[in-house]
């Protein structure tokens, strides 16, 4: 085929298109256009000041959601190109996948989910979709960014059945138990590779985890042995760089060879064959999947539940919960635009409507903006 893409890759020709139809771009593909719209969005710029594990003001060396998203895109593009898949689409999905994240990483999302428990909950995948479908206001002709079906499908990694039923075409695959495109599947796994490895790197740099502890984790230990053999006498920092690079390489190579073997065996002829397959085709071999699970478990126990991280987590939950309560009790504590939105949503959908508007406002905050907001309420401590 002329595009050089595999017959089961997503292409502009087999795309289900955009909700609001637009003339095709002149010098870009439809998915390059999606990627560019994501990069020019306000939510994308705010990723610079949002964190995953470490709160942003703790140091400039740690990953932010922005650098995380760039790392995901870099890994995903490598896999896409190696497998003849649509690199532009997988890049657009990767760069957009965390747009809906709250301030303060998972702690912020858990707290907001708890605040929203009577109003449909809060889920970051769904919020990323809300950002690109509704919350960005940059185009006169339509709300949101009007991205293609395939980019939106990739952003919505998980979804409850209740939410799927409200999402029409986009929710249908969760009801039918179908798969998304291979490009979406691989963006999802590139996300895992990226965060596991940068959390190892950031964890070591912060001193919250030790090299000797990590040396008990097989994936790390294997690469450490190789590095020690090949580079005698390098310092600990360089050793970490080499080991992390080695782990990413091992995971990416395994992902490509395992996924390619599965695809070759299935012989899909079109994107429909991918969607209707009973399980995802992109994945790791069993030994590497197991090694990755062990690494995840290590990070959960030693890093994410570290007393220092827990203290930050608790403070983050407190901030988000307080902001939600204060804004819900008095919309005018929010900027006029958001207060208006909350009032209009309350008129239309009652408390559930205004709660969603308040959640949208809080979710859009960066870590430091949320800290300023809580101080402005006189709740800083
Ligand atoms: Mg992510």
Ligand 1: distance of its center to the CA of 378 in Å?
A: 33
Judge contact between 65 and 51, C-beta under 8 A.
Answer: yes
User: Dihedral, CA atoms, 207, 211, 212, 217, nearest 10 degrees?
Assistant: 120
CA distance linking residue 114 with residue 125, whole number of Å: 16
Indicate the pLDDT class of residue 1, thresholds 50, 70 and 90.
Answer: very low
Per-residue model confidence as pLDDT tens digits over 191-234: 999 999 999 998 898 888 999 999 999 999 999 999 999 999 99
Band of residue 57 on the pLDDT scale cut at 50, 70, 90: low
Q: Which residue bears the tokens 């990323």?
A: 128
Global confidence as pTM = 0.95
Handedness of CA 352, 355, 361, 366 (dihedral sign): negative
pLDDT at 159: 86
Whole-number Å distance, alpha carbon 98 to ligand 1 midpoint, is 5
What is the per-residue pLDDT for 105? 86
Which helix (H) or strand (E) element contains residue 345? helix 336-363
- Beta-ladder partners of 18: 148
More confident residue, 339 or 303: 339
Q: How does the average pLDDT of the chain come out, rounded?
A: 93
Mean pLDDT of 131-152: 96
**Contact residues for 112 (Cβ-Cβ < 8 A; gap 6+):** 102, 122, 320, 324, 359, 362, 363
Going from the Cα of 82 to the center of ligand 1, the distance in angstroms, rounded, reads: 22
96 Cα: distance to centroid of ligand 1 (angstroms): 9
- Above 90 in pLDDT, residue 310? no
In the reported structure, the alpha carbon of residue 69 is separated from the centroid of ligand 1 by a whole-number distance in angstroms of: 6
| Ion ligand 1 — residues with CB < 5 Å | 98, 191
pLDDT of residue 378: 84
Ramachandran bin of 104, using left for φ above 0, alpha for ψ from -120 to 50, beta for the remaining angles? left
Distance 340 CA to ligand 1 centre (A): 32
- How many whole angstroms from 157 Cα to the centroid of ligand 1? 11
pLDDT of residue 174: 92
Tokens of 151: 């980019």
* Strand-pair partners of 148: 18
Give residue 240 CA to ligand 1 midpoint distance, Å: 22
Task: Calculate how far, in angstroms, residue 350's C-alpha sits from the geometric centre of ligand 1.
Answer: 33
pLDDT of 2 higher than 50: no
Distance (angstroms) between ligand 1 centre and the Cα of 97 equals 6
Q: What is the mean pLDDT of residues 73-92?
A: 98
Using 50, 70 and 90 to split pLDDT, how confident is the model at 190? very high
pLDDT in tens, 250-287: 999 999 999 999 999 999 999 999 999 999 999 999 99
Q: Say what percent of the chain tops pLDDT 90.
A: 83
Q: How far is the CA of 3 from the centre of ligand 1 (A)?
A: 29
Confidence of residue 325 (pLDDT cuts 50, 70, 90): very high
Q: Percent of the chain scored above 70 by pLDDT?
A: 96
């Amino acid at each position: 085929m002329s595009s050089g893409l595999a017959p089961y890759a997503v292409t502009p020709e087999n795309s289900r298109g955009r909700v609001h139809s637009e003339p095709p771009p002149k010098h870009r593909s439809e998915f390059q256009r999606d990627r560019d719209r994501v990069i020019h969005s306000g939510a994308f710029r705010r990723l610079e000041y949002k964190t995953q594990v470490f709160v942003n003001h703790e140091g400039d060396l740690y990953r932010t959601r922005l650098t995380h998203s760039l790392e995901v895109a870099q890994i995903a593009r490598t896999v896409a190109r190696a497998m003849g898949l649509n690199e532009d689409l997988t890049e657009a999905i990767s760069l957009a996948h965390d747009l809906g994240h709250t301030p303060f990483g998972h702690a912020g999302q858990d707290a907001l989910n708890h605040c929203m428990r009577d109003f449909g909950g809060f889920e970051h995948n769904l919020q990323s979709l809300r950002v690109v479908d509704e919350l960005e206001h940059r185009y006169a002709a339509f709300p949101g960014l009007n991205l293609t079906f395939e980019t939106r499908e990739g952003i919505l990694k998980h979804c409850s059945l209740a939410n799927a039923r409200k999402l029409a075409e986009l929710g249908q695959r969760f009801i039918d138990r179908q798969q998304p495109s291979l490009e979406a599947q691989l963006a999802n796994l590139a996300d895992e590779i990226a965060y596991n490895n940068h959390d190892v790197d950031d964890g070591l740099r912060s001193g919250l985890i030790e090299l000797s502890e990590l040396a008990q984790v097989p994936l790390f230990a294997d690469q450490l042995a190789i590095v020690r053999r090949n580079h005698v006498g390098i310092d600990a920092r360089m050793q970490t760089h080499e080991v992390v690079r080695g782990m990413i390489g091992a995971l990416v190579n395994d992902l490509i060879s395992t996924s390619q073997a599965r695809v070759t065996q299935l012989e899909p002829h079109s994107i429909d064959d991918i969607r209707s397959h009973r399980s995802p085709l992109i994945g790791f071999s069993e030994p590497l999947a197991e090694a990755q699970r062990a690494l995840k478990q290590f990070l959960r126990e030693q890093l994410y539940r570290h007393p220092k991280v827990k203290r930050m987590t608790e403070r983050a939950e407190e901030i988000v919960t307080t902001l939600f309560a204060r804004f819900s009790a008095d919309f005018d504590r929010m900027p006029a635009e958001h207060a208006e939105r909350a009032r209009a949503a309350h008129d239309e959908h009652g408390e559930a409507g205004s709660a969603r508007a308040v959640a949208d406002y809080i979710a859009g905050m960066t870590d430091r903006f949320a800290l300023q907001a809580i101080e402005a309420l006189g709740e800083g401590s």
